[in-house]
Structure 1
């Protein structure tokens, strides 16, 4: 499995996400694209107004785990 922080390991910067992975992931509720928020380590669904957490480099794409914006 590809790590979401693959690129960051090269630079020792744990706040980066693999752009290819971000292109693939969509909001499970709305099926729309997500925006990566590096500081909060979250994937943001603007349409659903939800923030999905990233834990240990793995996105938790469960609506029940998402934070409302």
Structure 2
């Protein structure tokens, strides 16, 4: 994903900046402690799709059924 695009995107909840760790499949909002997934190179900027961050700022993945 292009870093220029990341600089243009904002958190849909608080309109704050998003960050991406090296090649991580998430865009992270530290203010809201949410991680927005990147699927097939496209960021999914829906609050309902966001994952909460744990105490180490890592996305809490839902247990698989």
TM-score, scaled to structure 2: 0.75
Q: CA RMSD in A?
A: 1.1
Match of 2:20, SS state, is: strand
What pairs with 1:1-69 in structure 2 (closer than 5 Å)?
17-69=1-53
| Higher share of residues assigned helix | 1
Aligned residues: 53
The one-character-per-residue Cα deviations of 1:18-38 (angstroms, maximum 9, x if unpaired) are 111011000000100100134
Structure 2: gaps of 5 or more residues: 54-65
Deviation (angstroms), 1:39? 4.7
Runs of 4+ in 1 over 4 A off after TM superposition: none
